[in-house]
């Protein structure tokens, strides 16, 4: 049996160390979390993405009593951007959460479904999508390429014949 390892490179910063553009994106994600419909989990997630042309599109999680019928904030924002701006490049996406039940100081990481969707859009546009992850604390994690969070993502090549 052979072993292997994976290295994930990212940055850990404080909110006051962010660039003006990244701070604005994270603030917009925080405001988007206030619009979440999360009556069951009370876990409000907000996402804000910046298109290459500078437009910011937000999303918030939308729950349903039948849990699989809901949708995460990241996917709401990405699907909205793709619908309204189908040929625009997504430069960055910020994600954050707040809860009425618990204090989440650490940065929030997108779920596996959202990681796969972000990777799909990154592959589609052939350019990396920068991820900015925050929580209710001051620490922020930044990854310059979404593939850092999904090193073994499901690829389109798997569906192609030889």
Contact between 70 and 15 under an 8 Å Cβ cutoff? The reply is no
Q: Are strands 130-134 and 90-99 parallel, antiparallel or unpaired?
A: parallel
Total number of residues shown for the chain: 162
Query: From the candidates 74, 88, 139, 155, which is the catalytic residue?
Result: 74
* Alpha carbon distance 40, 42 (integer Å): 6
| Residue 95 bridge partners (DSSP) | 47, 133
- Can you tell me whether residue 141 is helix, strand or coil? strand
Tokens, residue 34: 């206030």
DSSP bridge pairs for 43: 99
* Residue 30 annotated among the catalytic residues of the structure: no
Q: Which residues contact 57 (CB under 8 A, 6 or more apart)?
A: 48, 49, 51, 77, 80, 81, 84, 85
Active site residues: 74
């Amino acid at each position: 049996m052979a072993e292997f390892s994976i290295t994930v490179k990212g940055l850990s910063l404080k909110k006051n160390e962010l660039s003006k553009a990244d701070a604005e994106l994270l603030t917009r994600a925080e405001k988007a979390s206030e619009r979440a419909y999360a009556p069951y989990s009370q876990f409000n997630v907000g996402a804000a993405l910046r298109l290459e042309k500078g437009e910011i599109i937000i999303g918030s999680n939308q729950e349903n009593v039948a849990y699989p019928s809901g949708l995460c904030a990241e996917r709401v924002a990405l699907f909205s951007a793709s619908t309204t701006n189908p040929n625009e490049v997504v430069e960055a996406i910020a994600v954050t959460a707040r809860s009425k039940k618990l204090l989440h100081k650490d940065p929030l990481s997108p779920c596996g479904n959202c990681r796969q969707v972000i990777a799909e859009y990154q592959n589609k546009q052939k350019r990396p999508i920068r991820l900015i992850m925050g929580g209710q604390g001051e620490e922020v994690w930044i990854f310059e390429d979404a593939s850092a969070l999904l090193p073994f993502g499901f690829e389109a090549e798997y569906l192609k014949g030889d």
